[in-house]
Structure 1
Amino acid sequence: MPKVTSVTPGTFCWAELCSSDWAVAKPFYTQLFSWQFDDQPIGEDCYYTLLKKQQDDIAAMYQMMPEQVEANVSSHWLAYIAVESVDTKAAEAQKLGAHIIHGPHDVPGAGRMVMMSDPGGALVALWQAKEHSGSQRALEFNVPYWHELTTRDVKASSAFYTQLLGWQAEQHPMGDITYTLFNINGQPVAGLMPVTDEWGKDTPAHWMIYLAVENCDAMVENTPHLGGQVCVPATDIEGIGRFAVLTDPSGAVFSVMESTSGDIDKASF
């Protein structure tokens, strides 16, 4: 797969882990996914760690602020969506019911961003690329692969993203629920599923990041040995692949997907 140097507006371009314990989360991910890393100082004993596959940037992580740890903020992955103008989209998002948490502001030597919560409460970021477009690998093993919104208000969440980003919503019945596939010009960019009773009343709306893997079962087996936990064991999705939901040692939840759709470049492991 050629190196990614630009991204289409409206598509996910970057993933970033805010960890309550960066020191234990970093070896977990680098060992589980065979990633390299580059610790870039951003303060006293504080680093913005670029996670790399064969020296190409594919995601990042950092230690959350002490006041966040004291406030019991959970470790979490934050997904970024590419846009042409962060300022324009941030203003539009507010009018559509989003809450701006941080920004818009420049990230020196990289681009411009804003972090917000959508009308359903899910955290998401918008990214206007300058020197850094985002993940430099796509549709390969051990890189971000899919993003899925879980929400309690499907109608409101669907309306927000279709209006803000021009996504087209396509409904697919899946057993007792209806899965929403978001497309751009007929190409899938993300998914949406409702929170069901089995999730529990305290499950917040959230964007789940999926990483493509060669062997889902091997990831499930290795996770506890590296200090993580298995939330949902390896499970088949007909026509899609095999997935599992995992938790890193600092408490951040993410998923892995062994795709059977033939879209992964297996030559670029």
Structure 2
Amino acid sequence: MLTTRFVDGAPNWIDVGSPDIDGAASFYGALFGWRFRSAGPDAGGYGFFQLEGEGKTVAGGVQTGPGQGPAAWTVYFQSEDARATAKAAEEAHGRVLFQPTDVMGQGHMAVLADRAGVPFGIWQPGRTKGVELAGEPGSLRWVELYTPDIAAAAAFYRRVLGLETSAPFPGGTYTCFNPDGAGDDAMFGGMVPLADDPTEAEAGPYWLPYFEVEDTDAVVEQARRLGGTVRVPATTVEGVGRTARLADPYGARFAVIRSEPPRG
């Protein structure tokens, strides 16, 4: 379960890069009740999405320029030493896309890529520990890696982030992640073979964030009205919840879920 009791290897931050951050803020504000707050003139256009009413930061966002790639969400994982994690990624045949750097004393960040070229971030906490809300409506609930090689990805993230993997569904290919030694209760995400999903196979490997919502179908219709794309319509997954995969008006992919209450 994803919470704000962050441990090494678990997601602790997420942000979206968009060619129109004001347009993205309008979209996510109407969809999730987020309000965008600039981090100030020295932050290069970076800012924070805060949940209205709660006032808690649930994500970040930044304006991207030409040549900086398509609009996308980036998932960040906690590291006690960003430089050591970046070195481990290179040694595991990944890449460092953005070298570890101090972020105004708030922490150290880096952007890496795994063996399949999938970007992900590292956040070494300083004054900012991570997002202030997770697992609740309007916040990050789950992350999913679409990858061409489950075994290679499992080995990479084990070496770089210390993640353990398990297969919760007998006979299936879905593989779950949890931090080292934390057990099944700390599962925060999963892996899906790219070849098993035609929608994602065409788009290529990536990390997909899921945001908790109170009504999946209503959010899907709202996203469509706001100019977003419904990539996979609302679907009920027994024992998990009702999910849908979407993209914002600029192409950043994400998913929503109304989680099924735990049995018992």
Corresponding residue of 1:194: 193
Partner of 1:266: none
**Which residue identity is paired with 1:52?**
Q
Please give the alpha-carbon distance, in whole angstroms, between the structure 1 residues aligned to 2:144 and 2:97. Answer: 21
Partner Cα distance (2:26, 2:48) in 1: 13
| Residue 165 (1) aligns with residue 161 (2) | yes
SS, match of residue 13 in structure 1: strand
Q: 2:139 aligns with which of 121, 136, 143?
A: 143
User: What is the SS of the residue equivalent to 2:235?
Assistant: strand
Q: Secondary structure at the match of 2:220?
A: helix
- 2:50 maps to 52
Q: Select the residue among 71, 75, 90 that pairs with 2:71.
A: 75
Choose which of 136, 149, 153 in structure 1 pairs with 2:149: 153
Tell me if structure 2 keeps the 8 A contact 1:230–1:245.
yes
Aligned residues: 254
Cα deviation for residue 127 of structure 1 reads 0.7
Question: Cα deviation per residue 1:8-66 (whole Å; 9 max; x = unaligned)?
Answer: 1111011100012223111000111011221234469x621210022111101111023
**How far did 1:173 drift?**
4.4
1:217 to 2:220 alignment = no
From 174, 178, 182, the counterpart of 1:183? 178
Can you give the 5+ residue segments of structure 1 that lack an aligned partner in the other structure? 264-269
2:176 maps to a residue whose letter is L
5+ residue gaps, structure 2, are: none
Q: Cα 1:174–1:238, aligned 2, differ >3 Å: closer, same or farther? A: farther
Q: Does structure 1 retain, via aligned residues, the 8 Å contact 2:25–2:35?
A: no
| Mapping of residues 4-153 of structure 1, within 5 Å | 4=4, 7-42=6-41, 47-53=45-51, 54-68=54-68, 73-153=69-149
CA 1:25–1:196: 2 relative to 1, 3 Å: same
Q: CA RMSD in A?
A: 2.0
Inter-CA distance 248–150: structure 2 relative to 1 (3 Å threshold):
same
* In structure 2, distance between residues paired with 1:202 and 1:190: 22
Q: Residues 37, 76 of structure 1: CA spacing in aligned structure 2 closer, same or farther, 3 A cutoff?
A: same
Give the fraction of aligned pairs with identical amino acids, expressed as a percent: 33
State how far apart, in whole Å, the 1-side matches of 2:233 and 2:25 are: 23
Aligned to 1:244: 244
Cα distance, 1:189 vs. partner? 2.3
Counterpart in the other structure of 1:230? 230
The question of whether the paired residues in 2 share the 8 Å contact of 1:243 and 1:256 is answered with yes
Asked whether the equivalents of residues 199 and 231 of structure 2 are also in contact (C-alpha less than 8 Å), the reply is: no
Instruction: Give the distance between the partners of 1:85 and 1:235, measured in 2 at CA.
Output: 39
Alpha carbons of 1:200 and 1:131: their partners in 2 closer, same or farther (altered >3 Å)? closer
Q: Distance in 1 between matches of 2:71 and 2:41?
A: 19
SS at match of 2:128: coil
**In structure 1, how many angstroms separate the alpha carbons of the residues matched to 2:99 and 2:231?**
33
- Which protein has the bigger strand share? 1
Amino acid at match of 1:32: L
Matched AA of 1:58: V
Residues in 1 aligned to 2:117 and 2:50: alpha-carbon distance in whole angstroms: 30
Deviations 1:120-173 (A, max 9, x none): 111101110001011001221110110100000111111101122222211244
Q: Is the 8 A contact 1:172 1:178 kept in 2?
A: no
3-state SS of paired residue (2:135): coil
Q: State the Cα deviation string for residues 147-204 of structure 1 (Å, max 9, x = none).
A: 10000011111110112222221124488x5000112321212210101262375432
Counterpart secondary structure, 1:62: strand
Mapped to 2, the partners of 1:219 and 1:89 lie a distance apart of 37
Q: Secondary structure at the match of 1:14?
A: strand
What is the TM-score when the length of structure 2 is the normalising length?
0.90
